[in-house]
A and B are shown apart, each in its own frame.
Chain A
């Protein structure tokens, strides 16, 4: 049963890494969209 912990850990780690990466993507999207709107107004 001890080994089961490792299985869970691996699956959780995988989705954690994907989640963090997608999180950074979303944050960057949001920042760039805001910047784009700002520039559009300045025009």
Chain B
């Protein structure tokens, strides 16, 4: 029991030393997001969508690499999804692009923008919203554009991308890469050790 307490205490101390932060922080720069999640003791797993060939699907699912036990599921409520050139987008322009994460993650980010079939990026506004209501709203015409979140409280289990058309073009919500803040290998090992020690103590008791 004492060892378990020590292990948990070490994790708490680690978190405190690496800096207190807000409930949900929003980022628009990959480097800044990456530094922030790393400073909080996470490593980053990536879903590039490179393994998905051109096609359509009502639902897509996968796991970022390196493997971390996280599974993502993508849906578009009205008319499904299109995969092409290592991207995922909605089949219908008016559809939202929704990502669910199991288990939830502390941080999520991606190259999120709007595109028109056959023409690449397009002009529109997008809103990227977490389940707790915190969102980013902005221009979406840059395929390199990054939008990221980090929560130091509840984990992030859902991300919804909504498009607001500003011209007569049908812009589709599009995602290139998704970046997940996952427990760093060291922290994972510590958690496993804490679990083992705790289990041993429980068995002794």
**Do the two chains bind?**
no
Name A residues whose Cβ lies closer than 8 Å to a Cβ of B: none
* Interface residues of B, Cβ cutoff 8 Å to A: none
